[in-house]
Structure 1
């Protein structure tokens, strides 16, 4: 019924468990022999099928999908959400962005603000940033020590396992892998291109100076929070990023072997 995603060999390379690698060993760009137009055509077919797969997920209401998007500043999370999930029925997809915690959120445990947005059965929930910010930016800025970070790693693993076992939640964790050169170019575009100026934040340039610290923190996350594996998505080229995310979501949904519920008179 549904097509097999293209370029399976490239997917297998991109989707190996990240604990085997350091980010410096993974390209941020598409393989040179891929044609952009061919990839975009394949992506369009996947997106058409994702709309039907989401409808099936919603109707069957036995599973849920949690998509976690993490990336450096200007990594392309907003674009991925718009291009990959924008054509899916909005009644079946929810997006939650996690920014700096409020005073109320800080007065609770670090997962309190996260858990209330976990997806119900039949839904796709997208996290634009996530619970991983509490072992990322907090660590880079010295707000928590290493011992606290490692306790949180264990809590995160238990949390994700609980969602999977108690609510049939399939968790897809994507790191959008860009180069520092690409990040600099995208940040500078926000100073000159009118439609992107609303994203400009001078603090992003200061955070970019901590590139090595963030990379080290991410690699520690990949090492300790990979019971549900990460997908590292080369993201310097948006068309390739969108294709890989769409393909992984397509692969996950088709793997659930879902069926539309039948009326009692049609059941065997």
Structure 2
């Protein structure tokens, strides 16, 4: 991948300390030097990476692990949460994807703690879960609209941090993205919904009410970002005026190696025979290897040892006796 397709996701990470959203351009492209065409090409190039990583995540579930990914999408109306789900999450297998859109709590949900409904919506092991809005609504809206006392909102910041730390300890990678759209761009998008009959369904009069409270919401976001930007699950602020960049940024973050992706599946050791020199490693024969991670689960009845053919350095296709098919694994030379 050339330089114009390389994405430095570290530039999206929010540093600790006070947050000033006005200092982050909403139309910028931090971490990426290419134009729209290059960005769309880079997004397409991420697809096989995400497919491979999702396969590993699913394999860990087959091995009894509890690894999963939780992608939290927060942002003002029209910031593009739905667009990210269609364009970036559309690159992964929907069978391993769960999406939850949080709206106003129901009467039943109001009878419980604000995190009760969030816990119920967490992704299962081996899945990527997406929150379209999230538990952060219960501090953002409550602060702006005065739905809870200032003391209660303050308590919730700490409770959210403890909740996310608990998730991480249980094998969940929490990826939090604030889609940072500008006021002018939001105005254009709201008008586009009114001007286009095909988009009338997207228009909600409440969006206009919230727009009138723009300064208050920006302040609420700044406080929430600062208070919940902890080491276990930090925030990424993504400029969202350019839709192509926004989609690429989220996809690139998902594809970036993280604890949630380094899942091992069921760890087993095997001494494998070489039927012929491996491809992709200069014909070097590795007579014995250790299977360190299953990428595709071994079918019931499979036995070891087997024959290994190299795909590339560190990734092999093992044809185990009784498996009936090739099984991709990660191996280390013994």
Fold shared per TM-score above 0.5: yes
Equivalent residue, structure 1, for 2:249: 244
Residues 68 and 128, structure 1, Cα contact 8 Å, conserved in 2: yes
Residues 29 and 239, structure 2, Cα contact 8 Å, conserved in 1: no
1:186 is matched with which residue: 184, 189, 193?
A: 189
How far 1:3 sits from its partner (Å)? 10
Equivalent residue, structure 2, for 1:265: 304
Residues 18 and 222, structure 1, Cα contact 8 Å, conserved in 2: no
* Cα deviation 1:16-59 (Å, max 9, x = unaligned): 42635410000111349531111110111102321232122112
Residues 5 and 247, structure 1, Cα contact 8 Å, conserved in 2: no
- Structure 1: tracts of 5 or more residues without a match: none
Deviates more, 1:19-28 or 1:81-90: 19-28
Take 1:226 and 1:266, find their aligned partners in 2: how far apart are those partners?
A: 47
Take 1:255 and 1:120, find their aligned partners in 2: how far apart are those partners?
A: 13
In proportion to residue count, which structure has more strand? Answer: 2
Residues 53 and 254, structure 1, Cα contact 8 Å, conserved in 2: no
Take 1:204 and 1:18, find their aligned partners in 2: how far apart are those partners?
A: 30
Equivalent residue, structure 1, for 2:180: 177
Say whether residues 1:26 and 2:24 are aligned partners.
Answer: yes
Residues 92 and 124, structure 1, Cα contact 8 Å, conserved in 2: yes
How far 1:5 sits from its partner (Å)? 10
Residues 174 and 231, structure 1, Cα contact 8 Å, conserved in 2: yes
Equivalent residue, structure 2, for 1:83: 87
How far 1:197 sits from its partner (Å)? 1.1
Moved over 4 A (4+): 2-6, 261-264
Equivalent residue, structure 1, for 2:268: none
How far 1:187 sits from its partner (Å)? 0.8
In proportion to residue count, which structure has more helix? Answer: 1
Q: State the secondary structure of the residue aligned to 1:265.
A: strand
Equivalent residue, structure 2, for 1:97: 101
Equivalent residue, structure 2, for 1:211: 214
Residues 74 and 134, structure 2, Cα contact 8 Å, conserved in 1: yes
Deviates more, 1:19-28 or 1:205-214: 19-28
Residues 40 and 239, structure 1, Cα contact 8 Å, conserved in 2: yes
Take 1:98 and 1:201, find their aligned partners in 2: how far apart are those partners?
A: 16
Take 1:264 and 1:206, find their aligned partners in 2: how far apart are those partners?
A: 63
Say whether residues 1:36 and 2:41 are aligned partners.
Answer: no
Take 1:129 and 1:206, find their aligned partners in 2: how far apart are those partners?
A: 18
Take 1:105 and 1:77, find their aligned partners in 2: how far apart are those partners?
A: 23
Higher RCO, 1 or 2 (CA under 8 Å, sep at least 6)? Answer: 1
Residues 68 and 130, structure 1, Cα contact 8 Å, conserved in 2: yes
- Structure 2: tracts of 5 or more residues without a match: 264-292, 307-333
Residues 139 and 153, structure 2, Cα contact 8 Å, conserved in 1: yes
Q: TM-score, normalised by structure 1?
A: 0.92
Distance 1:52-1:194 versus aligned 2 partners, 3 A rule: farther
Equivalent residue, structure 1, for 2:289: none
1:145 is matched with which residue: 131, 143, 149?
A: 149
Q: TM-score, normalised by structure 2?
A: 0.74
Take 2:208 and 2:238, find their aligned partners in 1: how far apart are those partners?
A: 23
Residues 75 and 178, structure 2, Cα contact 8 Å, conserved in 1: yes
Larger-Rg structure: 2
Q: State the secondary structure of the residue aligned to 1:226.
A: coil
Say whether residues 1:233 and 2:233 are aligned partners.
Answer: no
